[in-house]
Structure 1
Amino acid sequence: MEAMLKGYPVITEIPVAWGEMDALNHVNNVVYFRYFETARIDYFLQLSLMDDLQKTGIGPVLKETQCSYKIPVTFPDTLYIGSKIREMGDDRFTMEYSVYSKKLGKITTTGSAEVVMFNFKTNKKATISAEIRTRIEEIQAETDAMPV
């Protein structure tokens, strides 16, 4: 697993639940977006983004997300979702995800998300603060994956 998720500083472990499978006996496509959300929130917690949101009213909003299904996943299994920030702009960043199946020993799914910083007090986009930018760089420095 370590080799396949190299470059992902945050790894989220998620057991596959029986109820996540669909009529075709594999994890339903929509469930992966919940997995990505869980991984994204884990990353945000490491950044203290949710604490900052409570203090400043500025926080992350999902602008767009995508998923590429490579191999079906079935119950029982344990998934490890690697997340990283691939690039940063003034007011947004792009996250990347890879889903590793313990049972299959392979990456089964990949995805990405564009996240925009938003000021909930003014209802307008906000810039990524210097503090958050530094925290992202510190987390990414733990791997070979530095954002542009």
Structure 2
Amino acid sequence: MRHLYECPMRWSDMDAFGHINNVVFMRYLEEARIDLMFRLARRADSGAFTGGSVVARHEVDYLRPLVHRHEPVTIETWVDKLGYASATLAYEIKDPDVLYVRAKTVVVPYDLEAARPRRLTDEERTFLEAYVDDSFNNRASTDVR
């Protein structure tokens, strides 16, 4: 299953050429990730991710420029890889007929009090397992761009 997030674009997101700035895409990914891992996960389990989490890695492929507009852009998010102490989230920022960005983020659960990484709880793993979709990895390399 994939999580769908409708991300509004702001006037300040655009660069001098009227495109959404590359750095802003990271904020869009963050909004979608927070919606999944905090809003939805905590609705499923009130203790999910309350100890914190950190981003260990981002990987972004910018495929087409996105021009500022008043309508939101869709961000699909799913779990690409699930370990015991990390999860790799994959994303597509898109409209129905245009793919702008493909990205991945490695998220590590973090114990804020101990200031160190921790393992995913059973409840967090169960929640994330519902969003596992490996079709991103199974696409032919010619489909990447």
- TM-score band by shorter chain is 0.7 to 0.9
- Structure 2 residue identity aligned to 1:52: A
> For residue 31 of structure 2, what is the aligned residue in structure 1?
38
Residue 53 (structure 1) shift = 4.3
Residue from 91, 101, 109 that aligns with 1:109: 101
- Structure 2 residue identity aligned to 1:137: E
Alignment of 1:136-147 (within 5 A): 136-140=128-132, 145=133
Q: Taking structure 2 as the reference length, what is the TM-score of the superposition?
A: 0.81
2:60/2:104 contact within 8 Å kept: yes
1:52/1:59 contact within 8 Å kept: no
Identity of paired residues, percent?
Answer: 25
Inter-CA distance 136–125: structure 2 relative to 1 (3 Å threshold): same
- Structure 1 residue identity aligned to 2:77: S
Instruction: Point out where structure 1 has 5 or more consecutive residues left out of the alignment.
Output: 1-6
Instruction: Point out where structure 2 has 5 or more consecutive residues left out of the alignment.
Output: 135-145
Specify the SS of the correspondent of 2:22. coil
Q: Taking structure 1 as the reference length, what is the TM-score of the superposition?
A: 0.79
Alignment of 1:1-148 (within 5 A): 9-44=2-37, 45-48=39-42, 51-54=47-50, 58-76=51-69, 77-101=71-95, 105-140=97-132, 145=133
Inter-CA distance 50–116: structure 2 relative to 1 (3 Å threshold): farther
Cα distance in 2 between the residues matched to 1:23 and 1:50: 43
Cα distance in 2 between the residues matched to 1:138 and 1:101: 24
Specify the SS of the correspondent of 1:127. coil
Q: How many residues are paired up?
A: 131
Cα distance in 2 between the residues matched to 1:124 and 1:10: 28
The Cα offsets for residues 53-92 of structure 1, whole Å up to 9 and x where unpaired, read as 44xxx22111111211111011214310000111111211
1:73/1:101 contact within 8 Å kept: no
